[in-house]
Amino acid sequence: MAKTNPGRFFEDYTVGEVIRHAVPRTVSGGERALYHALYPARHALYSSDTFARACGLPASPLDDIAAFHVVFGKTVPDISLNALANLGYAEGRWLRPVYPGDTINSTSEVIGVKQNSNAKSGVVWVRTKGHNQRGEVVLDYVRWAMVRKGDVDAPAPRTVIPDLAPALTVEQLVVPEGLDFSDYDFTLAGEPHRWGDYEIGETIDHVDGVTVEEAEHMMATRLWQNTAKVHFDVGARPDGQRLIYGGHVISMARTLSFNGLANAQIVAGLNGGTHANPCYSGDTIKAWSEVLDKAQTAVPGVGALRLRLVATKGGAPFTLKGEDGKYLPHVMLDLDYWVLMPV
């Protein structure tokens, strides 16, 4: 019996199964420092203990997207080692901040399967939860991927397609316990724009760009213990290029969006996301945002913006799809998410 992990194939997933993912991870100030070295991260709540305390939190948490990467990375050996494509995300909720010293592990429940008409692959839906050392859920999201069959003759399972919300409502978002923006210091945060200054339909070109390097995306992807071969080994794909982890593009775009959204401190919900085109070393990532919706939360002073975040490698800002309805080739990421900010 081979001792290495061959990964799971489409026929290995059964709706209702809960998979406990391996390799729990304790995070520290080291992960924070690396996140700030790998991305232009500047949101004050995630940079400064004193700023976080002034906002009612016990300390500065790990960046929400970094927390997502830690949880996601653990799922790769069980979910996407034989994936042909990562198709989408839905119903992602950050339920509790992750602090230095916390230990995170992940579980996924299979919530849907649908064999493709070619009978060579199928779509698997999982609801993944990240837990801390006290068993509290810190993050909960649905992801679906197209996975190869190992045995093309394996019978097709009964199709189950989960009923997923196109977007979370503001009532579904969780405001971190204790969060209080009444003494919020806009100067220290970097911009004067509060929740009330953003209008639905408004678009923001985040202006800055970063040309990405092989060493950086590999360090980032390894830090989250994501083991997919295509990110590390030039021999893993026919074109000899290392495909950059889609999460690297998410983090780059989100941190670039500081310029124009500096007060969009907390990522609270992930409504959906598409990795529209691949990213490779040498590409220059830029980002633009569109305000899709806005609402007040139940916590006084805390507003929520629903944002589209688009990462590009060229092209004009605010262009997304062609006349054929397909993403333009310079669009790498189209993310739909909720942030919390001072009203």
Identity of the residue, 46 or 89, whose beta carbon is nearer to its own copies in the bound complex: 46
Binding residue (CB under 8 A) for its own copies from 11, 13, 38, 114: 38
Nearer to its own copies, 48 or 319 (CB): 48
Phi, psi for residue 270 in degrees, rounded to 5: -120, 110
* Cα–Cα separations (whole angstroms), residue 36 to 91, 167, 279, 296, 305: 27, 30, 21, 30, 24
CA atoms of 124 and 254, how far apart (whole Å): 27
DSSP for 138-207, written as a single string:
EEEEEEEEEEE-SSTTSPPPPPB-----SS--GGG--PPTT---TT--HHHHT----GGG--TT-EEE--
Nearer to its own copies, 214 or 334 (CB): 214
Nearer CB in complex with its own copies: 6/300: 6
Give the number of residues in contact with its own copies, rule: CB under 8 A: 77
Q: Which residue from 14, 18, 29, 182 is in contact with its own copies, where contact means CB under 8 A?
A: 29
Smallest gap from residue 47 Cβ to its own copies (A):
5
* Rounded Cα distance, 309 and 328, in Å: 15
Q: Does residue 260 bind its own copies (CB under 8 A)?
A: yes
Q: Give the range of 163-171, 216-224, 272-280, 316-324 binding its own copies by CB under 8 A.
A: 216-224
Is 182 among the residues that bind its own copies (CB under 8 A)? no
Neighbours of 76 (CB within 10 A): 20
Instruction: Kindly report the backbone phi and psi dihedral angles of residue 171, in degrees, each rounded to the nearest multiple of 5, phi listed first.
Output: -65, -25
The contact pattern for its own copies, residues 42-61, with x = CB under 8 A and - = no contact, is x-x--xxxxx--------x-
Closer CB to its own copies, residue 100 or residue 278? Answer: 100
Name the minimum Å distance from CB 189 to its own copies: 6
Q: How far is the CB of 160 from its own copies (least distance, A)?
A: 25
Question: Side chain identity at 81, as an amino acid letter?
Answer: L
The reply to whether 316 sits near its own copies by the rule CB under 8 A is no
2: left (phi over 0), alpha (psi -120 to 50) or beta: beta
Which of 51, 327 has the CB closer to its own copies?
A: 51
Strand pairing report for 25-26 and 121-131? unpaired
Nearest-angstrom CA–CA distance, 146 and 23: 24
Binding window for its own copies (CB under 8 A); candidates: 173-181, 221-229, 295-303, 330-338: 221-229
Q: Is 330 in the site for its own copies (CB under 8 A)?
A: no
Strand 210-211, strand 25-26: pairing: unpaired
Which residue's CB is nearer to its own copies, number 301 or number 317?
A: 317
DSSP state, 281?
A: T
Q: What is the dihedral of CA 14, 130, 281, 33, to 10 degrees?
A: -170
- Specify which residues 99 forms β-bridges with: none
Instruction: Looking at residues 90 to 149 of the shown chain, list those that interact with its own copies (rule: CB under 8 A).
Output: 100-101, 103, 105, 133
Total length of the chain: 343
Interface with its own copies, residue 318, by CB under 8 A: no
Per rule CB under 8 A, is residue 290 in the interface with its own copies? no
Residue 262 binds its own copies, judged by CB under 8 A? yes
Question: What residues between 66 and 95 interact with its own copies by CB under 8 A?
Answer: 77
Nearest approach in angstroms of CB 57 to its own copies is 12
Residues 239, 236: Cα–Cα separation, whole Å: 9
User: Which lies closer to its own copies via its Cβ, residue 21 or residue 114?
Assistant: 21
